[in-house]
Structure 1
Amino acid sequence: MTGVNAVGRMLGVLGDEWTLLIVQQALLGAARYGDFTARLPISHAVLTGRLKTMTAEDLVTRRVYQDRPVRAEYVLTQRGRALWPVLASVWAWERQWVPRHGDGLPAMHHRACGADVAPVLVCRSCREPTSEKELRVRWGPSGSWPRSVPVLSTRRRSSPDTGRSAPGLFPETMTILGNRWAFAVVVAAFVGTSRFGDFEAQLAVPPSTLADRLATLTDRGILANASGPYLLTKKGRAVLPVLITALQWAEQWYPAAEGPAVLLHHIACGAAFHGALACDSCAEILRGNQLERVWHSPS
């Protein structure tokens, strides 16, 4: 059977920085067109285009709240709201690995236990924290590199990366997620791809594009190639919760008739791996409605 699988849909839908930023702001309460333009440095043309695409992808639904003149709001669907673990993982990774944010990022507060939280990826079966070394990964019934090539095009923001960002923007993560080919390269690296020729052959990516993405990921400390092959650094390996939550979201909302694209096995407990985010203070599985932003005053 042919057709793009869940990995390809994940890379295509989530491999766009504006889509993720719009979802983030919608989770924080934005709904009307003016809410998004006030919170994001986005042009009207780009915002209009993204909202149209996100409506077609059933991430948001358009609701008219005024007839004359016609005004509408964009409300997250169940599929869109289900992206909260991806955004929470992104948030946590940026706070730990990107200290150069100009104004810093607020902490996430877990209402259930009252503590600030750094989400931890755990196995749902045994509830133990899980790293990439404890996972065995193989293609599932719908899995293959040809079927995993992203199909949606992306357009990066034209503003330069100055090393500073407005609160809530994720410049380092967007190096990975904000470009479909960079996202695809990181996914390939997690499953063992390390040579330029192998990346090129497996992903069907133009050589010039691949060279640019590898250079960017190396410059940002996500990959290292001092000895020849491109290997994930500690910072790069820490992206695992982002990838797992994104993959699980795609498998849930874009299932293939013949089965999953990727099969994960947790070596430690012997069960099929289904990840969840847990609170690092109380160890309880997190729920999106239990998290809130908290700004702490400098000590």
Structure 2
Amino acid sequence: MLSLVGDEWTMLVMQQALLGATRYGQFTTRLPISNSVLTRRLSSLIKEGLLQRHRYQERPPRDEYLVTATGRALWPVLASIWEWELRWVPEHRQPLPPMRHLGCGAEFRPVLTCAHCGGPIATDDVTARWGPSGGWSRSLPTVTNRRRSADDRRDSPSGLFPQTMSVLGNRWAFAILVAAFTGTSRFSGFQRALAASPASIADRLQTFRDNGILTKADGDPHYRLTPKGAAFLPVLVTALAWAQRSFPADEGPAVLLTHTDHGHAFSPALRCDQCRELLTGATVSAV
């Protein structure tokens, strides 16, 4: 999951695919992306099963890129990122447009709810524990990030989803934030849980403080989620739900979520804050 949603170009290509782009020229028109970077991302998304190639013309050969069921299921993650960046991150290379719910016609914000009982969900409403295939050692990637090519660096889209990628694009950052949501607050606790070097932990904690995601008062050993940090919960739980459906482990799920006060399994669902109806990928559009 991290290798896909932690790459900004991949997420931007999938965003445009879900908004209707199917042909190579449509992606290059909508995104400031080079041909080489786009070609690599499309190939990767086909390999991972999020897109499929369809030949629509033989002479000359022309292909289109269609979203698979796995790719369509990514929309709650993208909508949650869109909302978080729109609300909490003012510095963007290009202003993010608001979202429109085609069901009621209004500009809206997605609200995280429980798919089983429909109730709204905040940080304290969800309890997490490791499942049969879970554990820090198994859930962390074996490499920090894919080594970026010269084309990737030159055409970096940083600034479109800048702070989301500071979480999802670094394995220690993502793990630290997950640990913070599950109750870890001391430096020693992060280091013990993740078995990371002190320098890696310190670097990511400082980034989160600089970005206003975590806070720590002078003399207080505890790092605490800010309102901005707590608002990242929909991104985490929708990404987790998508990953566990799309890439299931033979032993069972890696993480088990419970709706704390109700005692039943928690599965995320997004609703429109205007009409309260359940959102679907087909009813979310840019204004």
- Give the deviation of 1:158 after TM superposition: 3.4
Q: CA RMSD in A?
A: 2.5
What is the TM-score of this pair, normalised by structure 2?
Answer: 0.87
| 1:248 equivalent in structure 2 | 241
2:141 to 139, 142, 150: 150
- Give the deviation of 1:207 after TM superposition: 4.4
Relative distance call for 1:133 and 1:32 in structure 2 (3 A) is same
Superposition pairs of residues 159-174 of structure 1, within 5 angstroms: 165=159, 169-174=160-165
- Give the deviation of 1:120 after TM superposition: 0.5
1:188 to 179, 193, 197: 179
| 2:124 equivalent in structure 1 | 133
Identity %: 56
Are positions 1:73 and 2:64 aligned together?
yes
Structure 2, unaligned runs of 5 or more: none
Q: Distance in 1 between matches of 2:93 and 2:63?
A: 34
The one-letter amino acid paired with 2:282 is N
| 2:193 equivalent in structure 1 | 202
Q: Distance in 2 between matches of 1:128 and 1:154?
A: 39
The answer as to whether partners of 1:181 and 1:213 remain within 8 angstroms in 2 is: yes
Residue 286 of structure 1: SS of its match in structure 2?
A: coil
The one-letter amino acid paired with 2:114 is C
The answer as to whether partners of 1:88 and 1:119 remain within 8 angstroms in 2 is: yes
2:267 to 266, 271, 274: 274
Superposition pairs of residues 1-299 of structure 1, within 5 angstroms: 10-101=1-92, 103-151=94-142, 153-155=145-147, 158=153, 165=159, 169-226=160-217, 227-294=220-287
- Name which structure has the greater RCO, CA cutoff 8 Å, separation 6+: 1
- How many matched pairs? 281
The answer as to whether partners of 1:97 and 1:235 remain within 8 angstroms in 2 is: yes
Q: Distance in 1 between matches of 2:19 and 2:60?
A: 26
- Give the deviation of 1:230 after TM superposition: 2.8
What is the TM-score of this pair, normalised by structure 1?
Answer: 0.84
The answer as to whether partners of 1:15 and 1:183 remain within 8 angstroms in 2 is: no
Relative distance call for 1:289 and 1:160 in structure 2 (3 A) is closer
- Give the deviation of 1:114 after TM superposition: 2.5
- Give the deviation of 1:222 after TM superposition: 1.0
Q: Distance in 1 between matches of 2:142 and 2:56?
A: 34
